[in-house]
Amino acid sequence: MRGVFFDGSSVHLRRDLPDPAVCAGETLVRVRRAGICETDLQIARGYMGFRGVLGHEFVGETSEGRRVTAEINNACQTCETCRAGRQNHCPSRTVLGILNHDGAMADYVAVSTRNLHAIPDIIDDRCAVFIEPLAAAFRMIEQAEVGYGTSIAVIGDGKLGLLCTWVARSSGARVTLIGKHPEKLRVAGEDVQIVHLDEVERLRATFDFVADCTGSPTGFPLALKLVRPCGTVILKTTVAGDYTINLAPVVIDEVTIIGSRCGPFPRAIAALATREIDVTPLIGAELNLDDAERAFQLAGERGARKVLLDMHSK
Ligand SMILES: [Zn+2]
Ligand SMILES: [Zn+2]
């Protein structure tokens, strides 16, 4: 089969890959579409030490023709962490296309059967690719009481920043999106306050919650400036590499810091099915899997919208 393979130095389309080995408890899925995300670009730069087929945002169909996607953490289900209900943190987990498990940028992917979610017909393939990142945005609402009567600033106008903005808005919170790309800030929608990064100084110590979606070492220090005393900073993006930061304000202002990763698929599916959240403004170029290398180039361009790989188009 075909698959987008990272061999430790570069990303290539390979046509000589064996079909995935389907382990006990797994289901073989024929992939229809997959999305390229920031994590994939980081892996392609060698940051996560992964080798294999990339891809963790996808929609496909089972051998019975059921349209599905799957959660990405494959947990052992037996260790103490799993039994406590924290499967996404299982110490021996594999993660689709990220950690010790081949991913979905291929003709076929094997996924944990218990991780499968059916996709309602009303969600088309292109939007369904966003279920995984949208679920990650909803994770923030599970962890922090963002909602009516609260204010939140989202820093970063990339795809995850916009998804977090929309999730926060649908929670009822007053939302401010901070970024530096006017064309992306405009996508946020009417009831979101838009602030350019150059103008944030006046917002010092303002917000109940600040979500850092920048993927940059500058995001967290800015979040600490913007959050009010006893407020909460939510870290949604990882930053590759170490950096230095003064944590004294965290103590003095008694700031709560929350790390936030994977989230609830059913909530994301419901939000797309009811059009509570419309992700279509985030959809960018669509290329056939055969053009995967070019698709990665496009995805890596500054300000790129979500680049999709279509497995079957010509
Ligand atoms: Zn991703
Ligand atoms: Zn476990």
Dist. CA 85 → ligand 2 center (Å): 9
Asked if residue 66 is part of any domain, the answer here is yes
Task: Find the ligand nearest to 86 CA.
Answer: 2
Task: Find the ligand nearest to 35 CA.
Answer: 1
Residues 123 and 147 in one domain: no
The whole-number pLDDT of residue 257 equals: 98
220-264, pLDDT tens digit by residue? 999 999 999 999 999 998 877 788 899 999 999 999 999 999 999
Residues 184 and 99 in one domain: no
The whole-number pLDDT of residue 46 equals: 83
Task: Find the ligand nearest to 97 CA.
Answer: 1
Residues 225 and 157 in one domain: yes
What is the tally of structural domains in the chain?
2
Residues 215 and 239 in one domain: yes
Dist. CA 86 → ligand 2 center (Å): 8
Asked if residue 265 is part of any domain, the answer here is no
Dist. CA 36 → ligand 1 center (Å): 7
- In the predicted model, residues of the chain with pLDDT beneath 50 are none
8 A C-beta contact, residue 134 and residue 35: no
The whole-number pLDDT of residue 280 equals: 96
Dist. CA 73 → ligand 2 center (Å): 10
8 A C-beta contact, residue 115 and residue 74: yes
Asked if residue 268 is part of any domain, the answer here is no
Q: What single-letter amino acid sits at 296?
A: F
The whole-number pLDDT of residue 77 equals: 94
Phi, psi of 238 (to 5 degrees): -90, 155
* Residue among 58, 57, 54 at smallest CA distance from 32: 58
Residues 241 and 162 in one domain: yes
Dist. CA 251 → ligand 1 center (Å): 32
Asked if residue 215 is part of any domain, the answer here is yes
DSSP letter assigned to residue 219: H
Dist. CA 75 → ligand 2 center (Å): 5
Task: Find the ligand nearest to 74 CA.
Answer: 2
Residues 69 and 114 in one domain: yes
Dist. CA 227 → ligand 1 center (Å): 27
Strand partners, 186: none
Task: Find the ligand nearest to 93 CA.
Answer: 2
Dist. CA 76 → ligand 2 center (Å): 4
Q: What is the pTM of this model?
A: 0.96
Instruction: Pull the structure tokens for residue 293.
Output: 């290398």
Residues 110 and 65 in one domain: yes
Residues 109 and 148 in one domain: no
Residues 53 and 157 in one domain: no
Asked if residue 272 is part of any domain, the answer here is no
Task: Find the ligand nearest to 95 CA.
Answer: 1
The whole-number pLDDT of residue 56 equals: 98
Dist. CA 215 → ligand 1 center (Å): 12
Dist. CA 241 → ligand 1 center (Å): 19
CATH number assigned to the domain comprising residue 188:
3.40.50.720
The whole-number pLDDT of residue 178 equals: 97
Task: Find the ligand nearest to 42 CA.
Answer: 1
Dist. CA 80 → ligand 2 center (Å): 7
Task: Find the ligand nearest to 129 CA.
Answer: 1
The whole-number pLDDT of residue 314 equals: 57
Strand, coil or helix: what is 90? coil
Spatial separation of the C-alpha atoms in residues 87 and 81, rounded to whole Å: 7
Dist. CA 55 → ligand 1 center (Å): 8
Domain span at residue 92 reads 3-130+279-310
Residues 39 and 113 in one domain: yes
Dist. CA 40 → ligand 1 center (Å): 7
Task: Find the ligand nearest to 90 CA.
Answer: 2
Half-sphere exposure of 69 toward its Cβ, with a 13 Å CA cutoff? 32
Asked if residue 157 is part of any domain, the answer here is yes
Dist. CA 138 → ligand 1 center (Å): 14
The whole-number pLDDT of residue 47 equals: 79
Dist. CA 37 → ligand 1 center (Å): 5
Residues 173 and 254 in one domain: yes
Residue 144 makes CB contacts below 8 A (sequence gap 6+) with 209, 232, 234, 258
